[in-house]
Amino acid sequence: MPYKIGFDREKYIDMQSEHITARRAEIGGKLYLEMGGKLFDDHHASRVLPGFTPDNKIAMLDRIKDDIEIVICFSALDLVRQKVRADLGITYEDDVLRLVDVFRDRGFLVENVVCTQIEGHNPLVETFLERLARLGLKVSRHYMIPGYPHDTSAVVSENGFGRNDYVETSRDLIVLTAPGPGSGKLATCMSQVYHDNQRGIPAGYAKFETFPIWNLPLSHPVNLAYEAATADLDDINVIDQYHLDAYGEQVTSYNRDIDVFPLLRSLLKEVTGTEPYKSPTDMGVNMVGHCISDDAACRYAAEQEIIRRYFHALVAERRTDADSTVSDRVANVMRKANVTVTDRAVVAPALAIAEQTGNPGAALELPSGQIVTGKTSDLLGPSAAVLLNALKALAEIPDDVHLLSPASIEPIQSLKTRHLGSVNPRLHTDEVLIALSVSASSDPQAAAALDHLKYLRGCDAHVTTILGSVDEGIFRSLGVLATTEPQYWRKALYHKR
């Protein structure tokens, strides 16, 4: 069910924009602001900090939009392996284009894209870069640097950062963002500071990393949820020892920031003659921790996110026949958070339906806390069934009322199996919603059910079989937080998504 509000959105927008403006004044000259996590569509933050909206960061930057230029970074390695944004279901390659459009639609200046971690010549990478150039974007190439980040003398040299293209910017506050983690934003910032210094341009660096939240303990579920979210990167939350040594204050950071801090400190000292930061935490401008209004609500939401990440890892490993490395890491995070899959309320009811019927089952928790279930039938799959049952419950339509008659479903089944080559005659969630929309023109109860779709946003659901791409996409579009068991409906080596 949608979680109790635990985060003050308006306070965050005010505090964060003011703090960035203050840091910019402290730095002077150009400020390269690395945005950790997602600048737009930050669904992870909205799930673990209920009240934080997916566009919260961009709404905050709207306050200082006229001073900002946005640069988008992406890794050549992610292009080659066709990495996909799990929350949106699109490749990083497509997300670069989407982000440019999103920022421009909101009035932000976006002219530059940077391809990082280039090593050798790859036709796939070069084809995409040529496409970006044809679209009118300025494309910069940044290369793999041997010894990065530990060999500072090699990195801060003509053969290190000096090999990278210089990104020509027109404003003094440059926000660097990316489709996802590991995209090379920090290295791009440091490369720019190096090149600006070579040109006699004062420049500095700061970081806006939402997670882990520096003023929450390591063991706080919100910080543990970040570990679960980045288990594929093997990110680990750690105490910032530099901050502890400098100020005697224990704060939370993570391994990659700790690893790269000596390089950053050496770089800034070499190119500016100063050491503005004594710790990785000093680099940050994150005010999120000051805007939590209900700690218990955020703890609960984060615990549920950790469990969801566990199921997602299991399914990803099943789909690719990979080993259990990532799910084992998330399982370890679950132990730290003292939660198990049984703490996800929709899991047991879905499994019970599957056990009772011998076919896949589903369960969905409504905003009231009521749990509805769906079973596999000749007409509907479990996802479609639970969706219909949830809408009936929300609209207070009796169980014995059929929103879709068999007579309206059978022609769709016939079309699928006889003409479209489907081996599964059961309706998917999109087909159910289309059929329901058709019925709504003449059936007031169908219309009432459709009117309650909006109340599914933020609700949890669990299905005992791996979803196809259609059902997965519909749940995502509706805002339903769905998980599944790592099992396919039928035994086979190949499964169409």
Distances (CA, A) of 355 to 103, 254, 348, 385, 411: 48, 42, 10, 17, 31
Beta strands 460-463 and 481-484, pairing class: parallel
Query: 177 forms bridges with which residues in the sheet?
Result: 72
Tell me phi and psi for residue 3, to 5 degrees: -85, 155
- In one-letter notation, the amino acid at residue 307 is I
Among the listed residues 481, 433, 480, the one whose alpha carbon sits nearest the alpha carbon of residue 456: 480
Return the CATH class of domain 345-484: alpha beta
Sign of CA dihedral 223, 225, 227, 233: negative
The residues, any chain, with a CB within 8 Å of residue 115's CB and separated by 6 or more, are 73, 74, 75, 76, 79, 125, 128, 129, 139, 140, 141, 142
**Within 13 A of 444's CA, how many CA atoms are on the CB side?**
1
Contact status, residue 274 vs residue 280, Cβ threshold 8 Å? no
Distances (CA, A) of 150 to 89, 153, 241, 266, 356: 35, 9, 18, 10, 58
Dihedral over alpha carbons 79, 84, 90, 92 (to 10 degrees): -30
- Can you give the pLDDT at residue 494? 41
CA distance linking residue 156 with residue 267, whole number of Å? 7
Q: Which structure tokens are listed for 224?
A: 């543990």
Among the listed residues 374, 383, 366, 371, the one whose alpha carbon sits nearest the alpha carbon of residue 452: 366
Query: Taking the model in full, what pTM does it have?
Result: 0.86
CA distance linking residue 240 with residue 246, whole number of Å? 10
- Can you give the pLDDT at residue 491? 62
Query: 30 forms bridges with which residues in the sheet?
Result: 203
Instruction: Tell me how long the chain is.
Output: 497
CA distance linking residue 33 with residue 58, whole number of Å? 14
- Can you give the pLDDT at residue 111? 97
Tell me phi and psi for residue 53, to 5 degrees: -95, 155
CA distance linking residue 390 with residue 467, whole number of Å? 18
Q: Where are the domains of the chain?
A: 9-295, 345-484
CA distance linking residue 275 with residue 262, whole number of Å? 11
CA distance linking residue 202 with residue 360, whole number of Å? 62
CA distance linking residue 403 with residue 449, whole number of Å? 9
Long-range contacts of range 160-167, CB-CB < 8 Å, 24 or more positions apart? 161/190, 161/191, 161/194, 161/195, 162/194, 162/198, 164/140, 164/191, 164/195, 165/114, 165/140, 165/141, 166/140, 166/192, 166/195, 166/199, 167/71, 167/112, 167/114, 167/138, 167/140, 167/192
CA distance linking residue 397 with residue 446, whole number of Å? 9
- pLDDT tens, the chain, 497 aa long: 789 999 999 999 999 999 998 998 888 889 999 987 777 778 899 999 999 998 888 888 998 999 999 999 999 999 999 888 877 788 999 999 999 999 999 999 999 999 999 999 999 999 999 999 999 999 999 999 998 887 888 888 999 999 999 999 999 999 999 998 889 998 999 999 999 989 999 999 999 888 999 999 999 999 999 999 999 888 899 999 999 999 999 999 989 889 888 878 887 887 777 888 999 999 999 999 999 999 999 999 999 999 999 999 999 999 999 999 999 999 999 999 999 999 999 999 999 999 999 999 999 999 999 999 999 998 889 999 999 999 999 999 998 888 887 777 777 777 776 767 676 777 889 989 988 988 888 899 999 999 999 999 999 999 999 999 899 999 999 999 999 999 997 665 444 55
CA distance linking residue 475 with residue 41, whole number of Å? 16
| Architecture of the domain made up of 9-295 | Roll (3.10)
CA distance linking residue 122 with residue 142, whole number of Å? 14
Distances (CA, A) of 128 to 113, 117, 134: 12, 15, 10
